[in-house]
């Protein structure tokens, strides 16, 4: 995930979702992930204190600042490049399960009261963002 001042996702030139200040969250469901995994990560993300307070310290959460979330599926996060020069993606969840978990995760984020925008699962998307900080954090299940 990346803390952003703005972000948007497009498919074939049409904007599907865009946000102002908040988080761009790139999501990859992995083999073995579950609905509980999605719910747990969503709860963690909305409470992470990674936004600046009045003293410029990272001490406020997405919920505290009233930020939005742009959630984009990205199976390439599962890339295994340990052998050869072509990435393997066998650790990613199968497409049906991955899509279900992507939607579950987005619903869980929204369920915490966060304004939400999404991309389109499985689409060839273009993502534009202004990384604020920059702050980029990797979370694994």
Could you give the CA distance from residue 54 to residue 3 in angstroms, rounded to a whole number?
Answer: 17
- Of 2, 31, 51, 76, the catalytic one is 76
Whose structure tokens read 């469901």? 29
- Of 75, 105, 118, 121, the catalytic one is 75
Hey, CA dihedral for 6, 98, 108, 40, is it positive or negative?
negative
With CA atoms as reference, report the closest residue to 141 among 113, 101, 89, 107: 101
Told to judge if 76 belongs to the known catalytic residues of this protein, a careful annotator would answer yes
Q: Write out the catalytic residue numbers.
A: 74-76
């Amino acid at each position: 995930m990346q803390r952003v001042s703005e972000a948007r996702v497009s498919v074939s030139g049409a904007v599907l979702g865009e946000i102002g200040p908040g988080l761009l969250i790139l999501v990859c469901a992995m083999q073995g992930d579950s609905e509980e995994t999605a719910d747990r990560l969503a709860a963690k993300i909305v409470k992470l204190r990674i936004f600046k307070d009045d003293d410029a310290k990272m001490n406020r959460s997405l919920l505290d600042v009233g930020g939005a979330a742009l959630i984009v599926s990205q199976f390439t996060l599962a890339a295994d490049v340990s052998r050869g020069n072509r990435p393997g993606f066998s650790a990613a969840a199968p497409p049906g399960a991955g899509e279900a978990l992507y939607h579950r995760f987005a619903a869980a984020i929204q369920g915490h009261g966060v304004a939400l925008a999404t991309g389109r699962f499985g689409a060839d998307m273009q993502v534009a963002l202004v990384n604020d900080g920059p702050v980029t954090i990797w979370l694994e299940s």
